[in-house]
Each structure stands twice: as structure tokens, then as C-alpha cells.
């Protein structure tokens, strides 16, 4: 006879047969194994074909991102734009004067070594006289270390006048210029030669005058103190006097 489990509550009785525990048999294990999916070589090959790696041809068809359009980027708002190209063309128009000042190759050359640290009235006077004599104005370096700032200052100073204005630190060494303004008059055909500072000009090939004076005053001083340069100085004096 099977044992009975008696539950008694509120005077009501209920009885259920007690089931024996189910043992884990080998058949149960085999059934569980058979229920798992079996992955074959065919399944692997099918998955490889469906999810294959891209070939070089596939990669070559992928569009390459284009470079950003810099012109479409917002531009800074300013009412003082500097046209470097136009300024460069203006300098090219004075190429003959610049060439003469660089190498003193044809005809006498007149150079005025200046700095923006000089008083503005002095610079204004020298620019006006340089425009009339075809002299070249030379700076040692950039204003605030910036080419843009230097161009802006030069434009503001010379206005519409045709003046050769150059940045040439080597020229300061070539002619041993240690203060500004310095006025250098070079002889026709003088050539630079090697020296400890790079390239120099023979001492008898040019004459220099320094001081806060006008260009015509410097030329007159050269005419008096260096007779061998008197004829060349007279050429530039005649241009100033018209």
C-alpha cells in the first residue's frame, strides 16, 4: 500500500499519492545531446560565402571622402583687407630700382636704410624724396614679426607713391649699417664680395652717411666729402630739384 500525505485544514481533508524521485538516466543524456544543433562543414562554407571579407575590388569602389572646401569656411570680418598680390605687382613695377639696389650692377644706386621706429615725419619725408630720386628704402626685419603687419605699415606709409621698399637684413650687413637712417650711394658696376658676414661691398665702391637728415642734405654732404662720388650724387640731386 502507498503511503498517504494527509492535509487537514478547516475540517476538510485531502490526500495525494507521493511520487518517487526521477533518476537521471543515460537515455535522458542521449536525448539532450540529440536535441543540440549539429554544425557541419557545409554550414561553415555557407556562412563564409554569405559574410565574406571584402576584396580589393570591393574596397576600390568605396568612395573616398572629398577634401573640405576651405573657401566655404566662414571668413573673418574685416574692413582692412590687404591685397598681397596687388602689392607684389606694384613691387615688380619697380624691379629695375630693386635690382640696382641689390647688386649695384648698372648705374649708381641710392639706398636709404630705415626703420618704423623712426619718427613718422622723417619717414614721410624720405618716402617722398625716394619716390622722386628712384632710391630704394630698406628695412632690416618685419614689423611685429609679421609679414602682414609689415605690408600694412608700408601701404599706409607710401600710399599711391611709387617707391621700392624692401626687407633685406643682409644689405644691412653688406654695407655695415648700424643706425638709421643711413644713406648709401654705390658706384656704377660695384659688386659684392665674400666677407665674415656673408657678402660685402668693397669700401671704395660706396659711400655712406648717417643721421636724421633729408635725402638731399645727405647727397650734398656726400658731394662735398667724397669728390669721387660727386657726379653720381648730382644725378639724384637733380631728380629731387626737378
Position of cell 659711400?
207
Q: Is residue 132 included in any domain, yes or no?
A: yes
At 177-204, the pLDDT tens digits run 999 999 999 986 665 666 665 667 888 8
- The helix or strand, by DSSP H or E, that contains position 185, with its residue range, turns out to be strand 182-186
pTM above 0.85, yes or no: no
- Looking at residue 6, what is its pLDDT? 45
Q: Is residue 215 included in any domain, yes or no?
A: yes
Round to whole Å and give the CA distance between 75 and 73: 6
- Looking at residue 231, what is its pLDDT? 94
Q: Is residue 91 included in any domain, yes or no?
A: no
Q: Is residue 227 included in any domain, yes or no?
A: yes
CA dihedral 220, 102, 201, 229 (to 10 degrees): -20
Round to whole Å and give the CA distance between 34 and 31: 5
- Look at the chain and report how many structural domains it folds into: 1
The domain in which residue 177 lies consists of 98-103+116-241
At 105-120, the pLDDT tens digits run 467 999 999 999 999 9
Amino acid at each position: 500500500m502507498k503511503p498517504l500525505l494527509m492535509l487537514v485544514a478547516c475540517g476538510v481533508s485531502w490526500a495525494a499519492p507521493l511520487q518517487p524521485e526521477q533518476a537521471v538516466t543515460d537515455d535522458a543524456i542521449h536525448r539532450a545531446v540529440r536535441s543540440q544543433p549539429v554544425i557541419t562543414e557545409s554550414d561553415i562554407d555557407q556562412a563564409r560565402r554569405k559574410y565574406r571579407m571584402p576584396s580589393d575590388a570591393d574596397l576600390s569602389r568605396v568612395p573616398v571622402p572629398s577634401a573640405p572646401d576651405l573657401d566655404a569656411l566662414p571668413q573673418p570680418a574685416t574692413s582692412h583687407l590687404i591685397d598681397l598680390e596687388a602689392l607684389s605687382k606694384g613691387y615688380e613695377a619697380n624691379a629695375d630700382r630693386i635690382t640696382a639696389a641689390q647688386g649695384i650692377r648698372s648705374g649708381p644706386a641710392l639706398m636709404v636704410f630705415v626703420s618704423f621706429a623712426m619718427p613718422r615725419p622723417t619717414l614721410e619725408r624720405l618716402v617722398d624724396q625716394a619716390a622722386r630720386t628712384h632710391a630704394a628704402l630698406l628695412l632690416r626685419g618685419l614689423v611685429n614679426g609679421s609679414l602682414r603687419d609689415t605690408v600694412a605699415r608700408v601701404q599706409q606709409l607710401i600710399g599711391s607713391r611709387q617707391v621700392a621698399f624692401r626687407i633685406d637684413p643682409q644689405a644691412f650687413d653688406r654695407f655695415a649699417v648700424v643706425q638709421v637712417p643711413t644713406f648709401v650711394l654705390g658706384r656704377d658696376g660695384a659688386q659684392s664680395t665674400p666677407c665674415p658676414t656673408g657678402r660685402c661691398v668693397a669700401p671704395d665702391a660706396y659711400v655712406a652717411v648717417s643721421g636724421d637728415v633729408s635725402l638731399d642734405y645727405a647727397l650734398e654732404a656726400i658731394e662735398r666729402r667724397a669728390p669721387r662720388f660727386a657726379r653720381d650724387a648730382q644725378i639724384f640731386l637733380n631728380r629731387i630739384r626737378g
